[in-house]
Structure 1
């Protein structure tokens, strides 16, 4: 159960305040007196030994103040709600193409390899104009870019080097011959903005290349597993009511975590001044980390049974913390929402009798440091 901030230790023994209540997590993520950059300063020992793109000091998630604002300005316009609304027709077209393929192929099918994986990969292909990169290559890079648990260190290093080399060459190519794609837009914006290092730009574009599809694939696969094993009535309603599908999508994002929180804590921040948090005085220099999953289950913020059918189709009483809040709110959240909503609604409409051919107990899981989802979802209809 969520409770007041309490002291725990990071893997390297560093004490950190763990924050679990909704209001407290919201305060930490919104209050400018909690910063990320001091935790990852060059003269500070690393809090986690991980080669993940997200743990790099060049990551946008490790920046604060003007450095962070410059990066968000460079990429943010492409992912506003209005920009994503313009993308919806062609995202829907990608969904329909995949569904047409499923129908023509006929059952059985694998909902991961035949639907949940290719959907965000095709979207990213088009958005970044990297059509020459096979889906299998994107997936391979994604599995290693975030230091996946199944990869050996040597395999991970090799894949991350490949991704870095590819991104570096892509940036150089778009500088020389820019187009209408997102990479060209970000490169132009960062060069115009100034003050953004090449290493930071490479990390940003690399994260967009692999992170955009990994997160959406995970959300879609986990949502399908949940709906088809535990919420058959919700599946029927999902396909018949597009507005209900929009509400359900938000509930699923809120309800189903991307990964195992035991394997990876949330971002670690440092207090830059004495701050009262949830009745506990956090001193200047103290480290704080947030548990979004616990906060999203806080009964004070979200009363009632979240798995109840009626609740699944009732708007959330407060914004979910799944994509963060405040200045570090996930840039790709609106695109991820659109992909998930369109995919679930149209799949349930086309295949209302869809069902898995194995039980949840028989699934094989893909484990990573950031995401966790089924490797396969064999299904029929």
Structure 2
């Protein structure tokens, strides 16, 4: 969904190489634009204002799907379901989030680090055995988070092509015909229902079984909510890391070669580098939505602008992460120094990304071990020849052909 007002978002922010570089002038107040559907939307870009939008209860997700809500996308995808976790607010959201949050605490994720490290090494071994050039997306970028989350969900035998198909359609906005998207989602939800039924009958040590157990303890989480949460976790659990890692590797193998070499020599640099890459490289397709969407449930002032109840608001985290009033220096100039102010790549407030710690760990391990093992890794195609995934909520390379 692009903005019909071409002046609303700078053209540079739509460059496929993702929103690289620091903003060079102060950001302004919220401004009105239009989505491709014709729906008006307030676009908020200053770091302080974006954080307010993401944390203020007067601006929520659930109201985006109220009966009188205007259209966001040409047709619905998985994330447009009003019953899914990310579209709930208040007590219902907190209750459902609790059923899964304990699996994604920093302490819980740390226990996975040795195993994830071994997965990274195995995937690099497999790359090294392939005929060159290799496709880094198929052989590493997508394979790593899929392998990790499949183990977490107890889905080691799941057909990965089927999972990729569901994932692409779950985040589609214009990429496929509407009927095809709805059929894919119906198949996906049927898979989720069958999986929940199987784990209820034969529980294990996996996340789905723990969700069912937590729901029983709570007593108010419905079967439909368990199924929707399972489906969301299956696809979102690997989609974010796939997108972030693909974009980061493209940068490191082109403009960021010096950073690539240093990452291979010193693993302690990886956490700060991961933070800076998350801050500096947007994963959203801003030709689809200009930010994290919210809707005002009452009149609210943001950045000196009065936003009326019922209005749509887009929190442009990509631009906020480059706000010169908060981050005066170009992120590329100091890739191994964590920003003083936390970035907003994973959102903020009640809907802060549940899987952020897992995504960080996977990135840290990948961004050290790949350049350590394959320091001469290089793109086998010119950057302008890269095929991009389009018509989805996220933007990343479809393929990354590389050699060494």
TM-score by length of 1: 0.94
Q: For residues 174 and 298 of structure 2, what CA distance do their matches in structure 1 show?
A: 37
Where 2:389 maps in the other structure, the secondary structure is strand
Q: Which residue of 2 aligns with 1:7?
A: 32
Where 1:373 maps in the other structure, the secondary structure is coil
Equivalent residue pairs, number: 379
Superposed, 1:140-159 pairs within 5 Å as 140-147=165-172, 149-159=174-184
Give the deviation of 1:198 after TM superposition: 3.1
Q: Deviations over 1:275-321 (max 9, x none)?
A: 3321223344443221111111111111122222xx11111121111
Where 1:16 maps in the other structure, the secondary structure is strand
Superposed, 1:38-117 pairs within 5 Å as 38-42=63-67, 44-105=69-130, 107-117=132-142
Give the deviation of 1:61 after TM superposition: 1.5
Q: Which residue of 2 aligns with 1:344?
A: 367
Q: 1:223 aligns with which of 237, 243, 248?
A: 248
Q: For residues 47 and 370 of structure 1, what CA distance do their matches in structure 2 show?
A: 12
Q: For residues 137 and 302 of structure 2, what CA distance do their matches in structure 1 show?
A: 42
User: Greater shift after overlay, 192-201 or 171-180?
Assistant: 192-201
Kindly report the root-mean-square deviation, in angstroms, between the aligned alpha carbons of the 2 structures. Answer: 1.8
Cα distance, 1:228–1:194 mapped onto 2, change above 3 Å: same
Runs of 4+ in 1 over 6 A off after TM superposition: none
Aligned 8 A contact 2:39 2:70 in 1 = no
Cα distance, 1:275–1:155 mapped onto 2, change above 3 Å: closer
Aligned 8 A contact 2:35 2:289 in 1 = no
Where 1:126 maps in the other structure, the secondary structure is helix
Q: 2:393 aligns with which of 355, 366, 370?
A: 370
Where 1:188 maps in the other structure, the secondary structure is helix
User: Greater shift after overlay, 154-163 or 355-364?
Assistant: 154-163
Q: Which residue of 1 aligns with 2:15?
A: none
Q: Which residue of 1 aligns with 2:343?
A: 320
Q: For residues 289 and 375 of structure 1, what CA distance do their matches in structure 2 show?
A: 26
Q: Which runs of 5+ in 1 are unaligned?
A: none
Cα distance, 1:267–1:103 mapped onto 2, change above 3 Å: closer
TM-score by length of 2: 0.89
Q: Deviations over 1:135-190 (max 9, x none)?
A: 11111111111225432223322221211111000011111111100011112212
Q: For residues 171 and 178 of structure 1, what CA distance do their matches in structure 2 show?
A: 9
Aligned 8 A contact 2:175 2:392 in 1 = no
Q: For residues 73 and 14 of structure 1, what CA distance do their matches in structure 2 show?
A: 34
Q: Which residue of 1 aligns with 2:383?
A: 360
Q: For residues 235 and 327 of structure 2, what CA distance do their matches in structure 1 show?
A: 32
Give the deviation of 1:233 after TM superposition: 0.7
Give the deviation of 1:52 after TM superposition: 1.2
